[in-house]
Amino acid sequence: MAKAAPATLKREAEELREKLRYHEYRYHVLDDPEISDAAYDKLLVRLKEIEAEHPELSTPDSPTVRVGAQPREGFTTVKHVRPMLSLDNAFSFDALREFDRRVREGIGREEIEYIAEHKFDGLSISLLYEDGMLARGVTRGDGTTGEDVTPNIKTIRSIPLRIEESVLKKAKLKGDFEVRGEVIMTRKAFEAMNRQQEQVGGKIFVNARNSAAGSVRVLDPSITAQRKLDFFAYYLLVNDKPAFPKHSESLETLKQLRFRASDDWKLCDGIEAVVKYCESWDAKREKLPYEIDGVVVKVNSVGVQNELGFTSKSPRWAIAYKYPARQEQTVVNDIIVQVGRTGTLTPVAVLEPVQVGGVTVSRSTLHNMDEIERLGLHIGDTVLIERAGEVIPHVLKVVKEGKNRRAFRMPKECPECGSKIHKVEGEVAYRCVNVACPAKRKESLLHFAGRHAMDIDGLGDKIVDQLVDKGLVKDLADLYKLKLDEVAALERMAEKSAQNLLDEIEASKKNPLSRVIYALGIQFVGERTGQLLAEHFSSLEELAGAKQEQLEEVNEVGPKVAASIVDFFSEPANKQLIKKLEKAGVRPTAEKTKVKSNKLAGKSFVFTGGLANRSREEAGEIVKQHGGKIVGSVSKKTNYVVVGADPGSKYDKAKELGVPILDEAGFEKLVGLK
Ligand code: AMP
Ligand code: ZN
């Protein structure tokens, strides 16, 4: 057994969780963060560290579960105690008035109080809380039984994993209740996801609703975690019944409980007020950060709801008013190609201009070649397009083949810079790899300046925009030619900050080879690959001249990465760039660890717990200086496990496997420090 965690650590973990919970709420529910992302990450990293070293301190409601648990084999089904019914639809205001008439007649009253809410377009979910803790998340399924998607749901940051005691008290609620609501994807998250999918050649989703549903119903919760989902709560049940006499009270309480609930619901006296609400939101809904496909109208009094009851499919006390769909037919006059910020070529349909829901549409993205093939689209065809909110419209299908239709082909050269277009085997995307291609200049510069690349502080997007737009910087090497007066003349710059930026740029020349390689932005070459390459090649020239086979000799570099590097350096503009950088003074050489001896050659080390005389990094450096290497986990092949204060499970593993164990003094002796 591992040593029991000290009480101080336990307390620290609890405090971290409470802090993280609060900041999650500020960020994801209130949209009003108090601390920076970096500060948040720091808290999370510390908590992860504690939980990794002391797994017994992990809890199911810990914010660390937000990254997603292990994938599962399948879903288990769960029966809903109170069925999750669908809603009756109304496609016109007259249908709404008809609904109102039925309600009034059913109850025998002149006027009814309604609540009008946004109809969120996503996936409905039931969340069960026990003792204030999220115990289970279930999809609607067929209304009677749904799928248990708890680990996926836990990754959604606007869903509280635990409701604090004080909050429950204020809301006059015990810890056991059920919240129902909708998992949605904001327009921004949806577009970002499709852009990402375009890059990697993944599935393109047609709308935010499908992508939200698809992202929840996956077996691997870490995929859900990457998708930036949101949750809007709209029902609160206690003992399977509405929690309060009025629905409006439930909506207010949900906010108190720190759920994200809409601010835009409205209490309406009579149906005409509801109609007004629907009309006013039809005009404004495009401006919302998420999509709504209608308005849900509910009788406010739960007593009246109970009197009206349910049909087998839906409640008689609620209805969904649906906004008309925004679809039109038009002709695809041409297909052109746009070069994205990362060099990906995206085909775009040039449409015969057409009005869709009051807006003229003349372009529509086709994402990639696969999508064009899936649609069977040729230039000249008539297509059905749909516009959902402010999102760029998309082509749903071909409705009629054009008489003189012709197939579209990807160009061989970049339409922006004329460089040769590359396509990686097995990938969908076509790319321009010229770093200096005007379409990707800004992105390349930002990547180059990034914290993990050349680390040029102060070179953010506002400055990059100006440098490129004013023609001061055409490629990465131009950065090193900037003059003080040029930089000081930019917006948001004073003489002093301009000098600071130039100093930063100058200092960046001293970066080690690994960082410079990474900073070039070669596809598939991340930080780690940069390091591995820097250990193998001694300069940029050497790397640039390397053949596919030589590259594949490098640890962890496979054929795909190697091909991407070869492609990159085969581009004349990139070769030119390397020369220019060298001339400007960026001449990194390999940062091989200074070898002091060979006495640890072939020996592997694992560290666990805190050392007293040095950091783990320093200890690792010493091992490398003597030819040894550091590995992350203990196996039979491990040569030494060095144990510091408060060691974790690696210590137990070492004992179990009989791997030699050293304390810090023993380690010092071994490496010859004592
Ligand atoms: P439909 O799927 O078109 O039958 O519409 C019914 C669905 O609308 C419900 O199952 C919920 O998933 C969803 N919905 C969206 N917003 C709300 C809301 N504010 N109140 C109730 N249901 C909603
Ligand atoms: Zn180009």
Question: For position 594, what pLDDT does the model report?
Answer: 64
Residue 124 Cα to ligand 1 middle (Å): 7
The residues carrying an active-site annotation are 119
**Ligand 1 proximity of 296 Cβ (cutoff 6 Å):** yes
Angle in degrees, CA 285, 288, 291, rounded to 5: 75
Please report the pLDDT score of residue 479 as a whole number.
Answer: 96
Residue 127: closest CA among 215, 233, 251 = 233
Q: What angle do helix axes 664-671 and 616-625 make, rounded to 10 degrees?
A: 30
For residue 96, pLDDT over 80 is answered with yes
Highest mean pLDDT pick, 295-299, 572-576, 642-646: 295-299
Note the pLDDT of residue 28. 87
314 Cβ below 6 A of ligand 1: no
Residue with structure tokens 């810090």? 664
Nearest-ligand number for the alpha carbon of 341 = 2
Percentage, residues of the chain above pLDDT 70: 97
Q: Name the residue of 87, 118, 207 whose CB sits within 8 Å of the most ligand 1 atoms, as the mutation to test its pocket.
A: 87
| 28 Cβ below 6 A of ligand 1 | no
CB 643 within 8 A of CB 663: yes
Of the listed ranges 380-384, 388-392, 467-471, 572-576, the one predicted with least confidence: 388-392
pLDDT, residue 116, reads 98
Measure the CA dihedral 240/246/249/253, to 10°.
Answer: 0
601: exposed, middle or buried (Cβ count in 10 Å: 0-12, 13-18, 19+): exposed
| Whether the predicted pLDDT of 325 surpasses 80 | no
Cβ–ligand 1 distance for 86 under 6 Å, the answer yes
DSSP one-letter string for 353-421 = EEEETTEEEEEEE--SHHHHHHHT--BT-EEEEE--TTSPPEEEEEEE--TT-B-----SB-TTT-PBE
Question: Does the C-beta of 231 come closer than 6 Å to ligand 1?
Answer: no
Q: How far is CA 153 from the centre of its chain?
A: 15
pLDDT tens digits for range 212-243: 998 998 889 988 998 899 999 999 999 999 99
Element (H, E) at 267: strand 266-269
User: In 3D, which of 206, 209, 182, 210 has the Cα closest to residue 194?
Assistant: 206
pLDDT at site 589: 76
pLDDT category at 358 given cuts 50, 70, 90 is low
Question: pLDDT value at position 276?
Answer: 97
Check residue 615 and give its pLDDT. Answer: 78
Tell me the average pLDDT across 625-648.
85
**Rounded CA separation 38/15 (Å):** 18
Nearest alpha carbon, ligand 1 atom 9: 86
Which whole number is the average pLDDT over 530-558?
89
Q: What pLDDT does 1 receive?
A: 43
pLDDT in tens, 303-317: 999 999 998 889 999
Question: Would you state the pLDDT for residue 43?
Answer: 92
Ligand 2 centroid – CA 271 distance (Å): 57
Query: What pLDDT score does 397 carry?
Result: 93
Give the tens place of pLDDT for each residue, 255-270.
999 999 988 999 999 9
Q: What is the pLDDT of residue 401?
A: 94
Residue 344 CA, ligand 2 centroid: distance in Å:
9
Whose Cα sits closest to atom 18 in ligand 1? 119
Tens digit of each residue's pLDDT (9 = 90 or more) over 142-181 = 899 999 999 999 999 999 999 999 999 999 999 999 999 9
Strands 430-432 and 382-386: unpaired
Rounded to an integer, the average pLDDT of 93-111 is: 94
Which position has the token pair 């790397």?
543
- CA dist 593 and 14 (Å) reads 40
Instruction: Give, using CA atoms, the residue closest to atom 17 of ligand 1.
Output: 119
Contact 203, 171 (CB under 8 A): no
Alpha carbon 53 to its chain's center: 27
pLDDT tens-digit series, residues 497-512: 999 999 999 999 999 9
318: amino acid identity, one letter: A
**Using H for helix, E for strand and C for coil, what is the string for 318-370?**
EEEEECCCCEEEEEEEEEEEEECCCCEEEEEEEEEEEEECCEEEEEEECCCHH
List, in order of start, the domains of the chain with CATH numbers. Answer: 7-67 (1.10.287.610), 89-322 (3.30.470.30), 327-422 (2.40.50.140), 438-510 (1.10.150.20), 513-584 (1.10.150.20), 604-671 (3.40.50.10190)
Is there a contact between 184 and 229 (Cβ–Cβ < 8 Å)? yes
Token pair, residue 61, equals 């409601």
Average pLDDT over residues 315-335: 90
* Span from the CA of 73 to the centroid of ligand 1 (angstroms): 29
How does pLDDT run across 58-71, given as a tens digit for each residue? 998 899 888 877 87
Q: Which of 82, 118, 182 to mutate to test the pocket of ligand 1 (most atoms within 8 A of CB)?
A: 182
Question: Rounded to the nearest whole angstrom, what is the distance from the C-alpha of residue 313 to the centroid of ligand 1?
Answer: 13
CB atoms within 10 A of CB 395: 23
- 614 falls in which pLDDT band (50, 70, 90)? confident
436 — pLDDT class (breaks 50, 70, 90): confident
Distance between alpha carbon 409 and the CA centroid of its chain, in Å?
32
Q: How far apart are the first and last CA of the chain?
A: 32
Per-residue pLDDT at 592: 56
The predicted-structure confidence for 34-43, as pLDDT tens digits, reads as follows 888 888 888 9
**pTM tops 0.75:** no
